[in-house]
Structures are given as structure tokens and as C-alpha cells.
Structure 1
């Protein structure tokens, strides 16, 4: 097995275990609205970027990311007991805005298509009046 496929497998395992730990360890109700979208671990396992989405109010995102960072050391301890890894990475939680960007792009494309259709219809109407 290549190192790259091993790293991807470990990233996915970390994603699953962290998702469970967030719900189990954090009593704050906002934790139930957190979803981990991706984990990217560096090759030496010293650090991992953990991309998360939050389904609650936008103004709470920063607080939720801070909450996750606060629990980061506890997550490392718990994962050290669960996983058979020599090193458990330090977690850096990052808000994943890819879904929002994707939705915005889809909206812009839909708006552009509607605008083009309206212009084409107006052009056809103008031509038929001549």
C-alpha cells in the first residue's frame, strides 16, 4: 500500500472518529450542528487540517471553531486510546465554505441563464414586430 493511500485512509478514519467525539465529548448543543467535511493530515502526522461546516447561525461560526479548538487536546487524548497510530496530529479546525461558494456560483449561473433567455426572447419579439 502506498503512503498516499495510507494517509487518505487515516484521514478518513480521523474524520469519522472526530465526528463521533464531537458529539460525545462536547455538551454544547451547537456541536450537533457541526459536520466534518474533510481531514488533511501532513505526512509526519504532526498536524491535521479539519474542515467543518456549521448548520447554525452564521454569527456563531467563529465561536464554534473556537470551541472545537478548545476541545482539540481532549480529542487527541481520546484518539490516542482508540487509534493505532504512533502520533496523533494536532488539529486545526477550519470552516469549510465550499458549499456556500458552490451555492452562490449555481445561483449566479442560473441568474445569467435567465438573463440570456430574457434577452433572446426580447430580441425575437423585437424582430417579429418589424
Structure 2
């Protein structure tokens, strides 16, 4: 029987355990500032997707990703040791790009707002290119 509530609770517990494992077990100086953003466990509790972000330069990010992938087995072992379930779920480490996408989207929205303000300033003093009333009117026939 599928229990989504249990999977959600297990995901929250795994999130805490992964952070503890990174601090206590991995201890690699190449590991940068890593934040675990989300953990999603399948309803059958057999697989966990661990989403994380890394702050720093591109080199720091690449080095942190390598350290995380290299120590995936140790992280899973620590999770299995601390969880009180029969089978330890397999883990998949996924870099979360949401912060970068959100920053890019915020920049695009700021640019759109700036351009809208420019257009609004230009339209205040604008004059029609042709007639003041550009609509075609029916001809009036003279008698």
C-alpha cells in the first residue's frame, strides 16, 4: 500500500541526515557551501532524489559536485545507519538550478520594467505620425 505521507516524512528525515553526513562523514575540504533544498522519496520508499545547491565560483561548484558524487555511497550508508526502516533507499543527487533560474528571471523582469518606463516617458510627449484622428470616415457627398 502506498503511503505518501510517510514518504514525505521520510524525505524530511533524509534531508537532515544528509546534512549531518556531509558535516560528520564526508569532511572533504573541497566541499563548498552546499544546501540541501529538497528530498523526494518515491511512495514505495525505495528511491530518494536529493536536490542541492552550491554557492561559489564555477570551479568551487564543480569541485563540490565531484565531492558529492564521490561520497554518494558514504552518504547513503550514513542514511541507512540512522534510519529505522528495513531497506535503505537508493539516492540520486540532483543539482537544483532553481536559485539561478529565479535570479535570471528577476533580472529579466527588472529589464522589462525599465523598458516599460522608457516607453512611458517617450509616449508622454509623442505626437501622432499622421492625422490626429487616423480612422477612416465615410465620405460625405455634396449636392
TM-score (norm 1): 0.86
Q: CA RMSD in A?
A: 1.8
Q: Residue deviations 1:1-40, cap 9 Å, x none? A: x811111111011011101111112222343501110111
Q: Answer with 114-123 or 23-32: which moved more.
A: 23-32
1:91 aligned residue: 91
Unpaired runs of 5+ residues, structure 1, are none
Q: Which structure's residues are more often helix, by fraction?
A: 1
Higher-Rg member (1/2): 2
Which secondary structure does the structure 1 equivalent of 2:16 belong to? helix
1:45 aligned residue: 45
Partners of 2:36 and 2:50 within 8 A in 1: yes
What's the offset of the Cα at 1:103?
A: 0.9
What's the offset of the Cα at 1:98?
A: 0.4
Unpaired runs of 5+ residues, structure 2, are 128-143
Which secondary structure does the structure 2 equivalent of 1:84 belong to? coil
Which secondary structure does the structure 2 equivalent of 1:126 belong to? coil
1:7 aligned residue: 7
In the alignment, the residues of structure 2 paired with residue 19 and residue 30 of structure 1 have an alpha-carbon distance, to the nearest angstrom, of: 16
What's the offset of the Cα at 1:89?
A: 1.5
TM-score (norm 2): 0.79
User: Structure 1: which 4+ aligned runs deviate by more than 6 Å?
Assistant: none
